[in-house]
Structure 1
Amino acid sequence: MKTRRDFIKKSALGAAGLALGGRNLSARSYRNIMGSNDRIRVGVLGFSDRFRSSLGKAFLKYAKEMNFELYTICDIWNRRRDEGVAWYKAQTGETIKTARNTDELWEQRPDAVIISTADFQHALHLAEVVRAGCHAYCEKPFAETMDDANEALKAAKETNKVIQIGSQRRSGSNYHAAREYIRSGKFGKIVAVEMTWNVNQPGRWRRPQLVAEIKESDTDWERYLMNRPYEPWDPRKYLEYRLFWPYSSGIPGQWMSHQIDTVHWFSGLEYPRSVVANGGIYMWKDGRRNCDTLTAVFDYGPFDNPDEGFQVIYSSRQTNSAGGTKEWYFSNGGKLDLDTNKVTSEGGLTERHAAEMGMKPFLLEEYDLPQI
């Protein structure tokens, strides 16, 4: 990736690019972004922990070479604006503009925006960003409700702006190799998928010190709520929003969205045919509304052919870390393990059991995927 043009093209058209409604962004979208000699001014909407620790540093690593500029930081919380200015100074030695809200942000006229706000705000901010004439990189989850997702999709179609959704697996070379291997036919038909994301972290998504320090006057609570029903100021729902519906779905939006995305990507199927789920708050009785333990069972396959398909079992708990994080794909010939990055014949159809039914054995050849 040697030029700014290559960067934009890869963002818009590459394997990590967004596919809205199953359709990849077109070459015309790439051509529409800017002239090849113009510096692209990028605003940050939401100075989050994720932005400061990874997104921002990754951006700055290539910005000068590709003629991008981190131009302004917009956040409704005064503390985050101050932290953003200090962070940028420490990274570059330079100063940066700030904006208290999106009204001020649009007055500053950025060309593109990195959306790093609360989960439930992503789709709504994305719609606002592209309608303001900007291109967008948006953290996952894309949306927490179908209404919000459809509003963002409508805005994307109206404006034809370049949009990319940040989903971790899409950037991993091992995941790209796994997809290529499955789509090549060597793996055989997917018959089952098992996924877990287990931790033992009572403090996960908690911010007790910041909750004690923040005051309503420091931010803009009504702007924060966007289209959610009004309720009085609650610092936990502002800072620990991942624990509270309707501001976040918790486990599904935070973790499952990364993992289940690989099923759609590898199989080419846009949606599950059905899903059932169950969960609860079994351990961490800290006032949260979202589950600390959840299991979901999905049925995937063509909608016009119920005889074809496979099952996905997803489970996650925040109360015991045994099992860790894994994605296991199974065919009749073996297993693709995206934790070890190995394809093996484990569980495949052996000669003995195949012969009993007059069938041929199917055992995958061992294969190592690229490491992350």
Structure 2
Amino acid sequence: MKKQRRSFLKNLGLAGATAAIMPSAFASETKQIKFLERNAANIFGAKPLGLALIGAGGMGVADAKTALEHDNIKMLAVCDLYDGRLEESKTRWGDDIFLTKDYKDILKREDIDAVIIATPDHWHKQIGIDALKAGKHVYCEKPMVHSVEEGHELINAWKKSGKIFMVGSQGLSSLGNEKAKELLAQGAIGDINYAEGFWARNSPFGAWQYPIPPDASPETVDWQKFIANTEKRPFDAKRFFRWRNYLDYGTGMSGDLFVHLFSSLHFITDSLGPNKVSATGGLRYWKDGREVPDVLLGMFDYPDSDQHPGFNLSLRCNFVDGTSGSTYLKIVGNKGSMDVTWDDVMLKQNEVAASDDPFMEEKGREQSQTRSDRKKILPPSETFYQVEKGYKGAHYDHFANFFQAIRTNGQVVEDPVFGFRAAAPALLCNESYRQNKFIGWDPEKMKVI
């Protein structure tokens, strides 16, 4: 029955994904998004969407800037616990912007339709729930929650709210992910049996050594609000500005980076997630008092399901990578493989698979017409798909999908259920690493076994 289901999915193909005809470029979805946005005022009413930013650090500012690239969006308020970021917000978005150190002040405002939550991870759940209860749509940075125990509470709050909740793993809205999903559904690499992902960095900032402002102090930082839901400690500027290094506030390499790879993989394969999690690693370079490893390896078992056959996944992170600092996701099947980024897909096939792509069919015919009497060693057939010039990227498209869902009362792919299924195995990597053992996970019920 499961094989019949998978065969049906492949024959059905991928509704709504980017259809590729030319091998070197994706058919443009960007033009359609632009059309919808430029006509948003006419189609959905002239009132702009009122937006607020909660957490104005590096990622929060990047999110806000991307959101404001879209038409009919207005930034109305910013919340942060550091004075310097509030002052910078006035420079970025005008002196009339509403500034506060208490996010609840923002939730009380009737002119705010949606909030971006870009705080440290340990505040995602509570601010998310409070925002939903206040009738706000939410764009929440990944990981959706700080611990597995928080997942169902946030999911339940979202279901009761009737609001849009988008988790910020932007790769899901990329043309690269969409093309890979389409190719897998068409059977281009056969049945998946293995996947691997690698995320590497080689810079101080990439290893979370963020700059600490010279005026950082209890007078400029609301430290008590920052630690209100965790262990009480005296003011520590490193913990505030380099919070990803500490488990009270962050979720380590797995919560920051593995979750992106899980999100992309689950989107491409329609998977609900693994049923066994294991991780190992260590502090190999950054001897700076951090509580999380700077090299992390994860191994995961994915069970046979209606969506896909059983397969294995391996993930790696390295924060002192002396090579290229590369990032990739490879998906391997019994007929070929795909190297997937947010902007391109390299398809390699050991045998020519059936396809609706005329280029691939012609390539297969060429390979079958060998004129030499002596057979040659041939490499796998390679087809490279790349976004067309001018593509604004996954981050832009992710917000396009978020705003479109708000305006049409629609849905987003990365809702809290999807977001939790990506976050949970990443967070369980930390537990496996800490406890030095395998951890069982029920991907359907979303519970630790």
Q: What is the TM-score when the length of structure 1 is the normalising length?
A: 0.79
Change in Cα spacing, 1:61 to 1:303, as seen in structure 2 (3 Å) is closer
Other structure's SS at 1:216 match:
coil
Shift of 1:131: 0.9
Cα distance between partner residues in 1 of 2:351 and 2:283: 34
Other structure's SS at 2:212 match:
helix
Which residue of 2 is the match for residue 83 of structure 1? 88
Which residue of 2 is the match for residue 38 of structure 1? 47
Cα distance between partner residues in 1 of 2:52 and 2:248: 27
Q: Aligned letter for 2:67?
A: F
Shift of 1:51: 3.0
Q: Find the partner of 1:300 among 302, 306, 314.
A: 302
Which residue of 2 is the match for residue 95 of structure 1? 96
Shift of 1:151: 2.1
Q: Find the partner of 1:209 among 185, 189, 212.
A: 212
Other structure's SS at 2:146 match:
coil
Q: Aligned letter for 1:75?
A: D
1:107 matched to 2:108? The reply is yes
- Contact (CA 8 Å) 2:188, 2:335: kept in 1 or not? no
Cα distance between partner residues in 1 of 2:150 and 2:40: 29
* Mapping for residues 1-372 of structure 1, pairs under 5 Å: 1=33, 2-3=35-36, 36-52=45-61, 54-62=62-70, 65-66=71-72, 68-89=73-94, 95-109=96-110, 110-203=112-205, 204-210=207-213, 212-302=214-304, 308-322=309-323, 324-339=326-341, 341-345=345-349, 365-371=381-387
Which residue of 1 is the match for residue 431 of structure 2? none
Q: Alpha carbon RMSD of aligned pairs, Å?
A: 2.8
After superposition, the C-alpha distances for 1:239-276 in whole angstroms (9 at most, x for unaligned) are: 10111112112211111111121221122221201011
Other structure's SS at 2:127 match:
helix
Cα distance between partner residues in 2 of 1:346 and 1:293: 33
Shift of 1:43: 1.1
Q: Aligned letter for 1:241?
A: W
Change in Cα spacing, 1:121 to 1:347, as seen in structure 2 (3 Å) is farther
Which residue of 1 is the match for residue 422 of structure 2? none
Q: Name stretches of at least 5 consecutive residues in structure 1 with no aligned partner.
A: 9-33, 350-362
Cα distance between partner residues in 2 of 1:74 and 1:179: 37
After superposition, the C-alpha distances for 1:22-77 in whole angstroms (9 at most, x for unaligned) are: xxxxxxxxxxxx9744332111111121233x322222222xx33x2111111122
Cα distance between partner residues in 2 of 1:346 and 1:201: 38
Cα distance between partner residues in 2 of 1:226 and 1:157: 27
Matched residue count: 324
Deviant stretches of 4+, over 4 Å: 3-8, 346-349
- Contact (CA 8 Å) 2:244, 2:250: kept in 1 or not? yes
Shift of 1:320: 2.0
Q: Name stretches of at least 5 consecutive residues in structure 2 with no aligned partner.
A: 1-32, 354-378, 388-392, 394-449
- Contact (CA 8 Å) 1:191, 1:331: kept in 2 or not? yes
Cα distance between partner residues in 2 of 1:303 and 1:331: 16
Change in Cα spacing, 1:281 to 1:336, as seen in structure 2 (3 Å) is same
Other structure's SS at 1:219 match:
coil
- Contact (CA 8 Å) 2:297, 2:314: kept in 1 or not? yes
Q: Aligned letter for 1:213?
A: D
- Contact (CA 8 Å) 1:124, 1:148: kept in 2 or not? no
Q: Aligned letter for 1:261?
A: S
Cα distance between partner residues in 2 of 1:5 and 1:36: 12
- Contact (CA 8 Å) 1:336, 1:344: kept in 2 or not? yes
- Contact (CA 8 Å) 1:198, 1:320: kept in 2 or not? yes
- Contact (CA 8 Å) 1:331, 1:348: kept in 2 or not? no
Identity level (%): 24
Q: Aligned letter for 2:386?
A: P
Shift of 1:364: 6.9
1 or 2 for the larger relative contact order (CA 8 Å, sep ≥6)?
2
Cα distance between partner residues in 1 of 2:40 and 2:263: 23
Cα distance between partner residues in 2 of 1:200 and 1:104: 39
Change in Cα spacing, 1:325 to 1:213, as seen in structure 2 (3 Å) is same
- Contact (CA 8 Å) 2:55, 2:119: kept in 1 or not? yes
Other structure's SS at 1:314 match:
strand
Cα distance between partner residues in 2 of 1:268 and 1:304: 9
Q: Aligned letter for 1:218?
A: T
Cα distance between partner residues in 1 of 2:218 and 2:305: 49
